[in-house]
A and B are shown apart, each in its own frame.
Chain A
């Protein structure tokens, strides 16, 4: 992986966001933001409500179109691509509320995310072969749902739904995984399990996480970026960020 990406640029940034601005009727939700994510890095974005965290993820995955600036992922400009093309390029996105198909079973949820047969013809002729079944089982085991494959997804607990959505991303095998508050609403035990899960799956990919739970952030983050009013307020290790007086003032202080 490292070798093949050498040509991309200095320092092997998987994702480089530069001068990113988005304005909604004059209000700049993200303002001249620059952000660089390295390979196999877990980067956590924190910040007060309305700081533009979710908007940044929306911009990267193509849900919101940028007003200005560039987002480069492995050398490809994402701002000009459609959502599904961005996914094909290797970016996966988990939403804030568990976004799963509740009418389908756990197996079917994962199967639909399996990266094959993604056009009309492919979907019509898709066969549930051994490769699919094995991969689904493998991912399901990883997200602690190995014995719940036949369960309808709306019967899962909130935490399990969050895992299922993470699993749906894992099966796509993205190189950049973006998670919006993955442990919101989880019990303490589930949080711990999720932290383990994230640390395990990051071996082959970069992860961008938005999170409020500081203990969880400390458990997983390699580096932390603090956003405030659409701009980067501070960046660095958890320790450095926590001791930054600016951060304490706007975010951690209260």
Chain B
């Protein structure tokens, strides 16, 4: 094995490199500008799925309201872009020039106070990163300090997503209502609607995704990552080992929120508008499906999950629009029942051993290290029909029984 190979194996980078090649080389070469922009849009969902790997896969906190954070990030960016697009010159025909068009339509004569700071790009960036975290922190403190978890937490996040959607739609004059914030044009004078700009934004999006992937990897490789796994299994034991369990849950929930918000902001930039349809309960659940399909414990799986489901959605809903929702539902049930560890689990169980067998020894560093960051863990549902897994666990119980007997002889 060469030097580069050993470096890559040591830091388990090969799958990151493969993904980087796909995102930065294969996609831009293979796709035209329109399709590339679409892949860029799919990749913004990968941020949310990555956040869910952290808080659901590792932390055991199923949030059905991640669209809220995606939306917060997206709306922050949209507010900045909208203000730039609503310069007095551009909006001269309005009865109040200089405010966003939808405000004018709703008889607002003044920019609301909370829109003011979004004139500043620096403030917008900080808001994208911090606002969702603060919101997640408030929800987290309210829930986790009271030890609300599991299904109850999922339902509450779902309710939060519903509430936020209703709020956005209801407050049309302040939020753009059901249409969202549309007709976004420039970022600091740079037209984001051109093909060239969209290509550049695609790469910016890819780089940010990798920053988040590495941040996520740092978290799960730290002791905090192991604590999350421990908490998922034995919350009481962690508590009685002297840890304040709720603070760790709040942290990982906030981290997931921030990562989702980055995706939301990039979505707005690449798609050119933001609307409540990306915030509500429906999209929030779809995002969970991206994560589940990729593999709950695989940070890279989240990216593939988001890509595959969205690609399927686009091509499927083009030809069979009515059937798509059923297909999506079936997909989710199928994943949970048949392969709880998603694509990552399938890769580890079937493809990796095959690759190891047929790829020459010299290139093993490309395929040997783990695709999932952790070995498969049986899903919380009892449905662990994945062949190897059930075999493993039955072997384990046998082993431990034997262990008991052999120790009796000591």
The answer to whether A and B come from one shared complex is: yes
Interface residues of A (CB under 8 A from B): 61, 63, 82-84, 87-88, 92-93, 95, 99-104, 108, 111-113, 115, 117-120, 123-126, 154-160, 165, 168, 172, 187-190, 193
Complex Cα distance, B248 from A108, in Å, reads 18
Q: How far is the CB of A187 from the nearest CB of chain B, in Å?
A: 4
Set of chain B residues within 8 Å of A125, measured between Cβ atoms: 222
Contact A120 B234 (CB under 8 A): no
Q: How far is the CB of A174 from the nearest CB of chain B, in Å?
A: 9
Set of chain B residues within 8 Å of A92, measured between Cβ atoms: 240
With A112-B227, A120-B224 already in contact, the answer to whether A100 and B408 are too (CB < 8 A) is: no
Q: A124-B224, A157-B401 are in contact. List 8 more A-B contacts (CB 8 A).
A: A83-B240, A99-B236, A101-B230, A101-B237, A112-B241, A157-B406, A158-B403, A187-B408
Contact B241 A87 (CB under 8 A): yes
Chain B residue nearest to A82 (CB atoms) is B244
Set of chain B residues within 8 Å of A120, measured between Cβ atoms: 224, 247-248, 251
Which 5 residue pairs are nearest across A and B when measured between Cβ atoms? A157-B403, A87-B242, A187-B408, A126-B223, A123-B224
Chain A residue nearest to B240 (CB atoms) is A93
Contact B237 A124 (CB under 8 A): no
With A84-B243, A99-B234, A99-B236 already in contact, the answer to whether A160 and B407 are too (CB < 8 A) is: yes
Is B191 an interface position by the 8 A CB rule?
no
Interface residues of B (CB under 8 A from A): 218-219, 222-224, 226-227, 229-230, 233-234, 236-245, 247-248, 251, 374, 377, 396, 399-401, 403-404, 406-410
Q: Can you identify 6 A-B contacts, CB atoms within 8 angstroms?
A: A87-B240, A92-B240, A101-B229, A112-B226, A120-B251, A157-B407
Q: How far is the CB of B226 from the nearest CB of chain A, in Å?
A: 6
Contact B242 A154 (CB under 8 A): no
Complex Cα distance, B245 from A118, in Å, reads 10
Set of chain B residues within 8 Å of A63, measured between Cβ atoms: 236, 240
Set of chain B residues within 8 Å of A95, measured between Cβ atoms: 236-237, 240
Q: How far is the CB of B231 from the nearest CB of chain A, in Å?
A: 9
Set of chain A residues within 8 Å of B401, measured between Cβ atoms: 157
Q: How far is the CB of A108 from the nearest CB of chain B, in Å?
A: 6
With A156-B400, A158-B404 already in contact, the answer to whether A101 and B233 are too (CB < 8 A) is: yes
Contact B234 A154 (CB under 8 A): no
With A61-B240, A158-B400, A158-B404 already in contact, the answer to whether A108 and B222 are too (CB < 8 A) is: no
Contact B400 A118 (CB under 8 A): no
Complex Cα distance, B238 from A87, in Å, reads 11
Contact A172 B242 (CB under 8 A): yes
Complex Cα distance, B401 from A126, in Å, reads 36
With A104-B226, A158-B404 already in contact, the answer to whether A123 and B409 are too (CB < 8 A) is: no
Complex Cα distance, B251 from A124, in Å, reads 11
Contact B241 A187 (CB under 8 A): no
Q: How far is the CB of A182 from the nearest CB of chain B, in Å?
A: 15
Contact A187 B239 (CB under 8 A): no
Residue from B227, B236, B242, B374 with most neighbouring chain A CB atoms (10 Å): B242
Contact A155 B400 (CB under 8 A): yes
With A118-B242, A189-B410 already in contact, the answer to whether A112 and B236 are too (CB < 8 A) is: no
Q: How far is the CB of B143 from the nearest CB of chain A, in Å?
A: 17
